[in-house]
Amino acid sequence: MLRAVHFRDVATCVATANGLKVTVESAKCLQASAFIQAGIFQEFVVQEESVTFRINLTILLDCLTIFGTSSLPGTSTALRMCYCGYGYPLTLFLEEGGVVTVCKINTQEPEETLDFDFCSTNVVNKIILQSEGLREAFAELDMTSDVLQITMSPEKPYFRLSTFGNAGSAHLDYLKESDLMEVFQCNQTQTNRYKISLLKPSTKALALSCKVSIRTDTRGFLSLQYMIRNEDGQICFVEYYCCPDEDVAETEL
């Protein structure tokens, strides 16, 4: 889950009774959040209404994989995480095969995260796809293109992904009756362009997910919500918000 949002070193962590939210941002144009529900943990206790701190995500991932990325057959790594409050480090206790490692990671002053003001009442178009369909698209589209153009419409082409790279223009269309399409709720034709450099980090979440919800609002802001099922069948979500590419829109006007 954390790897799915690991495209910058520093992340903001918010713990509430519902679970853990880890948010990473880039250039005030992209925000990614991993939601790890309290039920994923065997025990999850938060003494305050909410606890917020910033942490180096690269170091946290290194500590979590200190015994390696995969355990030996018959063994598993147990994790206990503690945070005592403002100014204290995040302490990790990792145990595998009777060996205990303690990691203390310095926390930083929390900064306010971006508010993309993406509310469901302003959503114009929404589709839910099986992730394999979008994985194939990203494999086929020309990534030399600066932008990915997304068209969503109640009429043909319904859902179209377009790139404009060195080899020319490429389009990939999805029918609303496609087996890959689980939900199709498009109210008006909308075409927006997004910088591919901003969308590339989301392919980490796409690779882990089984379904993806794609929504756009009245401003053309994009929400990509990835549903990820862990080894125990529990569901977690990773959500990406991305601004449309204003430079392109202004040039075309």
* All structural domains of the chain: 2-108 (3.70.10.10), 123-242 (3.70.10.10)
Q: What is the mean pLDDT of residues 150-166?
A: 91
237 pLDDT higher than 90? yes
Residue 18 near residue 38 (C-beta atoms within 8 A) = yes
Banded pLDDT at 252 (limits 50, 70, 90): very low
The stretch 71-88 carries a mean pLDDT of 82
pTM of the model: 0.86
Tokens standing for 72?
């030996």
